[in-house]
Structure formats: structure tokens, C-alpha cells
Chains A and B, each alone.
Chain A
């Protein structure tokens, strides 16, 4: 291999390494947690932010008539109230479930424009003795 080829490969490898371990890792955080918000609250004002965490148990309020949705996102340490409107939440949305909301902070409340549900990587069959038909009925009844 010619020296200029080796040099070229080294430049490409260095650029990729910088992208992966330097720039991308630090600056492109997909979502922030409530604790991170309170560490640098003024940094996240008046700009679009993604906030991620769990929907706190007992905090969920949903009005199907007005589509008004309110809940609290927690990371186990800090909590942030979230207000969302205009769209029906996905079927998997619920208390103690992972959620990522896109929107802005307004006076301590997060106003969500888009609500995404984060589900687990575990796939388990329903409890013993349940046939698929029974589960289908159960799912239809809860909706």
C-alpha cells in the first residue's frame, strides 16, 4: 500500500473516531432526564427539548373528550409535570412506562408536542393458561 493511501485511511479513521467518541457522544443527547434539567434549567428554556423518563404512578390524568393529558415524568430522583394536548396517546402509554416527550418548558411545566412510548426489550408470553383468543379479548376490552 502506498504511503498516501495509509495517510488517507488514518485521516478517515481519526475523523470517524472524533465523530463517535467526541462530538456526537457529548452534544447529541437524544433526551434529557428530569435531574439533568434541574442541573442546567436555564439552558433548556425556550428551545425544543426531548425529555425522557417514567410516567409516575398515580400521576396520569387523561380526558378523552378534550384530549387533555397530564402526567409527571420521573427518573426516580426528580420529577417534572408534563402537559400534552391534541393527540391520542399510543396504546402502550401508561403509568410506570417509559416515555419520551418532545416540546418546550413553560414555567416549570413541560408542554409536549409529541409523545413517544419507550418499551422494554423483553418479550414474554402472557400468564400460563391464557390462550391467544383470551388475550385478544382482554386487549380489545381495555381499549
Chain B
């Protein structure tokens, strides 16, 4: 999962533009596909928020693995570039996490009856959100770049433990949140193909957007670092 190639110069390359452009195009196509997908037989049209909620939630999880990968890479190689990409992975992940929580709450009110409930999936996801915020706070609080990178890498590595816990929470404990519709542990898919395909288009688009935004944020961070040194 190479989010960015070694690009420590901070040059805005055409690959980043291509990924971002494809992501935006995919999101537009995905939106129209989602809005023409059939409603759910029980929930009706409100279930269409599925097309937004699931991709953003997966990106929010992926952000933690991206940060884990680049934090370990930083601790092994000690290159500032890896630290910048790890920070970008969390920062962009925070946006997707906020979107996942927001869409989830908007979906929960008409179906479950409440915006929020302290049930296992929601609680573990809120903890993950707090870890992402904490990661940014740690980065903001430490001046020394090397100490900051090491402390942030520690937060990212420990925080990543929460992703499998959050993912499996609906199976390990009784919860209000339903179990996975697309279960990565068993391979079972409980979604009609007419609903599944638009969601997968959105998932691909959001993945491209996520990678493109992380690359862009990494490039900006590299330029900032170059300016500070000069």
C-alpha cells in the first residue's frame, strides 16, 4: 500500500492530479449511480446513505493502517518524508471519519430512532476518532521535529489496534449496529447487486480521493518543511 512514492522535494506531480481527477469523476458517477439504485425493501430510500456511509467508514479505517505503515517506516528509516505522509494519512482520515460518523448519525435517527447510542460499534469508532484528534494534538504540542515524529508514530501504532476491534465489535459483542453487510472475514455479501455495484463504484472513488488527498497533503507538508529549513 504505497500511498506516495518517494517525493521529498514537494513537487506536485501529474500522478497526484490524475488520482484526484479520477476520484472526483468517480464520485460524480457514483453519486448518480447511488441516486438511481433501488431502495431497500425495509428501509426504503433512507438506505441510500449506505453508498456514502460505508466508503467513508472504510477510508476512516484505512487511514489508520496507512498511518501505521508510514509510522513504522519512519521508525525504521528515520526519513522525515515518512513522518509527513503518516501525518497526512491521519489528517485526511479525520475528515473521512467525521463524514462516516455524520452520515451514520443521519442514518441512525430514522432507522434506529436515535442519533447516537453508546453501543460497541459506535463507542469504539468514537475512540478511534478521539485517537485521530489526539494524534493531531500531539503533533501540534511538540516543537522538536524528531521527537514529534517519534511520539506521533507511537500514537499511530497503538491507535491502529483499535481498527480491528472496531471492525469486529459488531461480532464480538451484542450491539445495536447491524453486523457487516459485506463481511471481509467470511466473504458473505448480504446486499443486492443493484445496490452493491453503485456502492463499490463509490468505494473506488473515495479510495482514489483519499490517496490523492494524502499525496497532496504530503506535498504541501514537504514544501512547508523546505521553507522552514531555508
Q: Which residue of B is nearest A90, CB measured?
A: B113
Identify which of residues 102-117 in chain A touch chain B, using a CB-to-CB cut-off of 8 Å.
114-117
Instruction: Give the Cβ gap from A123 to chain B, nearest Cβ, in Å.
Output: 5
- CB of A122 within 8 A of CB of B191, answer yes
CA distance A119 to B113 in the complex (A): 11
- CB of B39 within 8 A of CB of A117, answer no
Count residues of A near B (Cβ-Cβ below 8 Å): 34
Instruction: Give the Cβ gap from B7 to chain A, nearest Cβ, in Å.
Output: 29
Task: Identify whether the interface residues of B are mostly helix, strand, loop, or mixed.
Answer: loop
Most B Cβ at <10 Å: residue of A92, A115, A127, A139: A92
Q: Which chain B residues border A16 with CB–CB below 8 Å?
A: 161
- CB of A116 within 8 A of CB of B178, answer no
Q: Which chain B residues border A126 with CB–CB below 8 Å?
A: 38-39, 41
- CB of A116 within 8 A of CB of B113, answer yes
Q: Which residue of A is nearest B162, CB measured?
A: A16
- The answer to the question of A89 belonging to the interface, with a C-beta cut-off of 8 Å to chain B, is yes
- The answer to the question of B72 belonging to the interface, with a C-beta cut-off of 8 Å to chain A, is no
Q: Of A25-33, A38-46, A56-64, which binds chain B?
A: A25-33
With A120-B42, A125-B38 as known contacts, state yes or no: A31 contacts B112, CB within 8 Å.
no
Q: Which residue of B is nearest A142, CB measured?
A: B44
A125 CB contact (under 8 Å) in B41, B111, B176, B178: B41
- CB of B119 within 8 A of CB of A30, answer yes
- CB of B173 within 8 A of CB of A100, answer no
B190 CB contact (under 8 Å) in A20, A123, A136, A139: A123
CA distance A90 to B176 in the complex (A): 14
A116 CB contact (under 8 Å) in B40, B110, B176: B176
- CB of B41 within 8 A of CB of A124, answer yes
- The answer to the question of A37 belonging to the interface, with a C-beta cut-off of 8 Å to chain B, is no
Task: Map CB proximity to B onto A3-41 as digits: 1 under 8 Å, 0 otherwise.
Answer: 000000000100010001000110011110000000000
- CB of A132 within 8 A of CB of B39, answer yes
With A25-B172, A119-B178, A135-B44 as known contacts, state yes or no: A125 contacts B114, CB within 8 Å.
no
- CB of B174 within 8 A of CB of A31, answer yes
Most A Cβ at <10 Å: residue of B39, B114, B181: B39
CA distance A87 to B110 in the complex (A): 14
Q: Which chain B residues border A118 with CB–CB below 8 Å?
A: 112, 176, 178
- The answer to the question of A77 belonging to the interface, with a C-beta cut-off of 8 Å to chain B, is no
- CB of A125 within 8 A of CB of B194, answer yes
CA distance A118 to B179 in the complex (A): 11
Q: Which chain B residues border A92 with CB–CB below 8 Å?
A: 42-43, 110-112
Q: Which residue of B is nearest A29, CB measured?
A: B174
A contact residues vs B (CB 8 Å cutoff): 12, 16, 20, 24-25, 28-31, 52, 89-93, 100, 114-127, 132, 135-136, 139
Q: Which 3 A-B pairs have the closest CB atoms?
A: A125-B38, A90-B113, A121-B178
B contact residues vs A (CB 8 Å cutoff): 38-45, 47, 50, 110-114, 117, 119-120, 158, 161, 165, 172-176, 178-181, 190-192, 194-195
18 residue pairs from A and B, CB less than 8 Å apart: A29-B173, A30-B119, A30-B120, A30-B176, A90-B113, A93-B113, A116-B112, A116-B176, A117-B111, A117-B113, A119-B178, A120-B42, A121-B179, A122-B181, A124-B191, A125-B39, A135-B44, A135-B45
